[in-house]
A and B are shown apart, each in its own frame.
Chain A
Amino acid sequence: MNRHVLRALFEDAFRQVLDDKVFRLLVVLAILLILPTFLVGFTPEGISLLFGWKVYSYSELTSAFGRSVPQSPELSKEFIRGLQDIIVSGLAGTVGILFCIAATAFFVPRMLEKGAADTLFSRPVGRFTLLVARYAAGVLFVAILSFFLVLGMHLGFWLVSGWSDPAFLWSALTLTYVFALVHSVSVVVAVLTRSSIAAILTTLVFFVFTGCIHQNWISLEHSRAVKAEAVERGESEIEAPGGFQFLLDTLDVMHATLPKTTDADFIVAGLRKSLTEAEADLRDANGLVSVVAKPEGFQREGTETVDLGAAPARWIATAADGREKARIELSRRSRRDSTDVDAKGKPKLRSPGSFTLEESKTIEKDPATIDKPVRGSNPDADSMAFSWVRWRARGESADTHRARGFAALGEDVYVVDAVFEAEFGTNEDRERALRRFVDQVRVERKSAANMKAQEWYASTFDWSSVWRHNALVSIGTSLLFAAVMLLIARWRLSRIDF
C-alpha cells in the first residue's frame, strides 16, 4: 500500500469524524466541561471566581455543608485532582465512552452497504485495509475528543489555578485505549451483521458485561488475598474447592480472555503516582511504610531506607543556636505479646489502644511526669488509625511536651514518639507539627483484609507485579483480544459478496 492510499484513508477518516453530528455535540459538551476550569480557580487561599472577582475560602465553602475543612496548601490540589478524576474517569470514561460507541457504530455498516461498498472495494486496496481505516476512524473520533477534553482542562487548571496534575494527561491516552478495545467488538459485529443497531447494542452490552466481569474478578482476587494472609498467619486453612469452583474458574478464564477495560483506571493511577510522587524521605525496610517528606522545619539523618524494627528514624528541629527544640521518632515493633496468648497458646495481636493504655499507665508512674497523661485518637494518618497519649514531663532545664502514638499495620505496630521543648511554641504549633508529620506517613502495602477490593487491587496492580496483576500483561492480553476481533472481521469480510 503506497503512501497516497494511506493519506487518502487518513483524510477520509478525519473528515468523516468532523462531519459527525454526535462528534460536534460531544465537542460542545467538552467545551462546557473545560470552560469552568478557566472561570473557577482553586488556589491555596480558596476558590476564586472569574479571575479573582470573588474568592471563597475552603472552610467557608465546606461549612455551608455542615463541615469545616482546615486551610491547607494541598487542599487546592486535592480539589483539582478530584475534579479531574470525576470528569475524566467518571464522566468521560463511562458516559462519554457510551456516547462514542453509539456515534461510531455506523462507520463500518455504512461502508458495507450496497452501493457504498461497490465503489470503495472496487479500488486497488485490500478489504482489510479499508476495514482497519474505518476502525481507525472510530479510534480517532475518541482520541480527538479525549485529548481536547484533557488538554483543555489541564490548560485551564494550570493557567487559572496555577497547578494541574501533569500525569492527568495520561487519561487521554487511556480513554482512547479503552475505546479502541471496545470498538473492536463493534467492528466485528458490524461486519457479521452489517447492522448499526446490532453493533451498538452488542457493544454496549459487552462494555457493561466486561466491566462486571472484571469488578467481580477483582473482588474474587481480593478475597483470595485475604484468605492467603489468614493462612499465612495460621488463622485459616486452605479450603478444598467447593461447588462454586467451576464458576470461579470461569470468571478467571473470562477475565484473562476479555479486554481489561477497568484496568485502564489503575494504569492511569499508577502512571500518575509514578510521575507525581517524589522520592520518599524514608522507607521502612519491610516495604510497608514510607514517610513521603520530612516535616517542615525538621531534618533527618541517615539513608532513605532504614529498618524501623531495628532502630527508630529520627527527625530533629533545632533552634538558631543549634540546640534541639523538637524531636520526632518513628519505630516499629511486633503487635504480639508473649504474655497474652490465645487458646492454642499463640500470642494475641494487640490493638493500638491497648498499647496506649499500657503506655499511659507507665507514664503515670514516672516521677518526671507532671500532668496526668491524656489519651486521644487525632491526628490520623492517610490509612493508619493512630491512638495517642500526650503528657508533660520535667526536662533538664524546662518542661517538655510529649506525645506518643500507636498505629497497627498487619503484624506490627508503628510508634511515633514526639518530644517538644517549651521553646518550640504553643500547643497549636506542636499539634500542627505532629499532624504534618503524620500526613507524610504512607502505607505502601497494606494487608488485604484492611482494604476494600478496589483499593487493594490498585495497590497490587503494577508494571512489575505478578502476571495476574501486571499492567503489561493486562495491556497485552487486551490488545490481543482486539487483534483477534479484527482478524475475525477480516475473515468474514473476505467472504462477503457485495
Chain B
Amino acid sequence: MTDSILSVRDLRKVYRKAFQRRGGIAALDGISLEVGRGTIFGLLGPNGAGKTTLLKVLLDLVRGYEGEARVFGLAPSDPRSRRRVGYLPEAHRLPGHLTGRQLLRLFGGLSGCSPQELERRIDPLLERVGMTVAADRKVKEYSKGMQQRIGLAQALVHQPELVFLDEPTDGVDPVGRAQIRELVLELKRSGVTLFLNSHLLLEVELMCDRVVIMDKGRILREGTIAELTPKTGVVHFEIGAPRDDLDRVLAGVGRNLKVEGARFELGLDPAEVDQAIDRLRAAGISIRAVDPRHLNLEQSFLDLVRSTTGGGVSR
C-alpha cells in the first residue's frame, strides 16, 4: 500500500503478571497491518479480541511487545509519533476539575500547540461537536453524551493526521451520533486517517472504507465493506401486482421461491437472473425492482467469528 502512515508487522503482546516469566494472556498474536492515508479503518472483533491493545501499542500506552510497530515511520515510544495522533479512548475519564474549554487548552497545550493557535481553533471545534453552550461548565457536570463529545474534541484539538476513535458514539443520542458520523466523514474528506473501533456494526458499515475483523489476537479477515459482505445468491423482486401463478411462470428457473404479495425472493445463479426476468416479462408481469441481496456486515462478522470460535460470540 502506498503512502502508509501506520504499519505493524508480526505484532505480539502477552500480558503477564509481575514476576511471571512464561505463559500469560496473548492479547496480540502476530498481527500485521498497514493503513493508508485518508482512509477510515474499522476494527471489529468480540471482547478480548485485542483491538484496544493494538491501539494502545500504537499509542505507547502498552509496552513490552514483540514485532514491529510504526506510526508515521516512527516507533510508538518516540513522542514525535504521537504529536500528529488524536485518541478518544473507550470509557475515558477526563479531568473533571476543568471546563470543556480549559480541557481543550490543556490537551492542545500538551500536544505542543501555542495558546494563540488554540484560541483560534477551540470555538469552531466546540461548535462542530455541539458543545458551544456547555463549553464553560466543568467536565464533571457533563452528561455521558457531552463527555463523549468533548472527548472527541480533545482528540481533534491539535489537528491530528491520524485519529483513533474507540467507541466514539457510545452514550450519544441519535442526533449526536449522526453529527459525529458527519464529522468523521468530514475529517476523512480533509485527508485525516481514522481508526474506528466500534460495536455498532451499522456505523462501521456506513463509515469505513476498510475493515479488519480480529479475534483472539489475530486478524481473521481484512477488506473493503463490499469484500466483507458478499452476495447471498438470493434476488429480491418487486412486481406491479400480486400473482398466484409465479410457480408456473418461473418453473425450472432458480430455487426456493418465497412470495409475499407483490414481492418475492428467488435463489438464482448470476446466469439465471436474465432468464428469470425474461420469463416474467413474457408473462406480462411488470417488474418494479430487482435487488440482489448481500450479507450485511453483522451477519458476515457473526458467521466469521462463529466459524472460528464455534459460536458464543459476545459483542
Contacts and interface: CB of A to CB of B under 8 A. Distances in A.
Interface of A: 2, 4-5, 7-9, 11-12, 15-16, 18-20, 113-126, 494-495, 497-498
Contact of B56 (A11, A20, A118, A123): A118
14 contacts: A4-B114, A8-B106, A8-B108, A12-B98, A15-B97, A114-B93, A119-B93, A119-B107, A120-B110, A123-B82, A123-B111, A124-B80, A497-B64, A498-B56
B311 interface: no
Nearest to B62: A497
B241 interface: no
A131 to B, nearest CB: 14
Contacts of A16: 95, 97
B73 interface: no
Nearest to B76: A122
B151 A119 contact: yes
Interface residues of B, number: 39
Given A122-B85, A497-B61, A115 B109 contact: no
A439 to B, nearest CB: 54
B92 A119 contact: yes
Contact of A122 (B59, B91, B108): B59
A120 B82 CA distance: 12
A168 to B, nearest CB: 33
A118 B89 contact: yes
A399 B151 CA distance: 96
Interface majority SS on A: helix, strand, loop or mixed?
helix
A497 B15 contact: yes
A4 B62 contact: no
Given A4-B109, A120-B110, 14 more contacts: A2-B112, A8-B106, A8-B107, A8-B110, A12-B106, A116-B94, A119-B93, A119-B154, A123-B82, A123-B107, A124-B80, A124-B82, A125-B110, A495-B63
Interface of B: 15, 56, 59-64, 79-83, 85, 87, 89, 91-98, 102, 105-115, 138, 151, 154
Interface centre among A11, A15, A115, A497, by most B CB within 10 Å?
A: A497
Given A5-B110, A114-B91, A124-B80, A15 B98 contact: yes
Give 5 closest A-B pairs by Cβ, nearest first. A8-B109, A115-B93, A19-B97, A118-B89, A124-B79
Contact of B105 (A8, A121, A494): A8
B72 to A, nearest CB: 12
A497 B28 CA distance: 14
Interface centre among A20, A121, A124, A495, by most B CB within 10 Å?
A: A124
A128 to B, nearest CB: 12
B56 A497 contact: yes
